[in-house]
């Protein structure tokens, strides 16, 4: 689209307002990157999604999105075999619970397009979320006392290693 026309329409200000109203970091990033589409079917799809979302808001039936975070980076790290902090695991668990809650809420609504998007949220995330909840403190600060002995041992080793590194840097 013509940059001058977008400027006259104050499209950037609109994008910023939509991003500010987003319930999640990732939603804000997606809203901030929105661009007009010249594709008529895509425009119709976006308008239909917007209509469904507005209808849910009007009826106070919007899906709950609290707890959902952008965990793509830590999920990619885990997929590469990386070690995640308790905080990162808590974020993943909270995001899974929030996503499943939103999926469930949309399953009961007359919003077929939004429900179709939510159907991509795999119910198999439930055991993962429960496992994380079982072993990670609610605030993500640490492992729970009832976490497995091996997890507790690895965490103690990690703490000692961090303390050793801090002691070494202090003596420099």
Output the six-digit token pair for 50.
């917007």
For the cut 50, the answer to whether the pLDDT of residue 169 exceeds it is no
For the cut 80, the answer to whether the pLDDT of residue 159 exceeds it is no
Q: How far is Cα 125 from Cα 101, in angstroms, rounded to an integer? A: 11
**Is 55 within a domain?**
no
**pLDDT (tens digit per residue) in 20-31:** 999 888 999 999
Range of the domain at 25: 1-35
Domains in the chain: how many in total? Answer: 2
pLDDT at 68: 93
Helix residue ranges, H only, the chain: 3-8, 11-21, 25-32, 40-58, 72-79, 86-107, 112-118, 125-135, 149-171
pLDDT classification of 172: cutoffs 50, 70, 90: very low
**For residues 146-161, average pLDDT:** 77
Q: What percent of the chain has pLDDT over 90?
A: 72
**Is 89 within a domain?**
yes
For the cut 60, the answer to whether the pLDDT of residue 166 exceeds it is no
Question: Are both 31 and 84 inside the same structural domain?
Answer: no
**Is 63 within a domain?**
no
**Is 46 within a domain?**
no
Q: What is the dihedral of CA 55, 125, 72, 101, to 10 degrees?
A: 20
Closest CA to 100 of 72, 76, 119: 119
**pLDDT (tens digit per residue) in 55-66:** 999 998 988 888
**For residues 38-55, average pLDDT:** 95
pLDDT at 51: 96
**Is 57 within a domain?**
no
The per-residue b/e assignment along 99-136, b for 16 or more CB within 10 angstroms, e otherwise, is bbbbbebbeebebebbbeebeebeeebeeebeebbebb
**Is 90 within a domain?**
yes
Of the two residues 115 and 3, the one the predictor is more confident about is 115
For the cut 80, the answer to whether the pLDDT of residue 36 exceeds it is yes
**Is 165 within a domain?**
no
Q: How far is Cα 112 from Cα 133, in angstroms, rounded to an integer? A: 31
Question: Are both 76 and 137 inside the same structural domain?
Answer: yes
**Is 11 within a domain?**
yes
């Amino acid at each position: 689209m013509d940059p001058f026309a977008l400027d006259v329409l104050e499209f950037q200000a609109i994008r910023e307002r939509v991003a500010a109203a987003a319930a999640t970091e990732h939603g804000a990033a997606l809203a901030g990157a929105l661009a007009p589409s010249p594709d008529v079917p895509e425009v119709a799809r976006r308008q239909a999604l917007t209509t469904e979302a507005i209808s849910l808001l009007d009826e106070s039936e919007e899906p709950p999105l609290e707890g959902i975070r952008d965990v793509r980076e830590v999920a990619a790290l885990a997929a590469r075999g990386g070690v995640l902090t308790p905080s990162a695991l808590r974020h993943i668990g909270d995001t899974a619970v929030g996503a499943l809650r939103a999926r469930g809420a949309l399953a009961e609504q007359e919003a077929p397009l939004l429900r179709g998007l939510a159907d991509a949220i795999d119910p198999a995330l439930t055991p993962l979320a429960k496992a994380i909840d079982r072993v990670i403190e609610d605030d993500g600060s640490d492992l729970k006392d009832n976490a497995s002995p091996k997890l507790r041992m690895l965490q103690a080793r990690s703490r000692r290693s961090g303390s050793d590194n801090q002691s070494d840097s202090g003596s420099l």
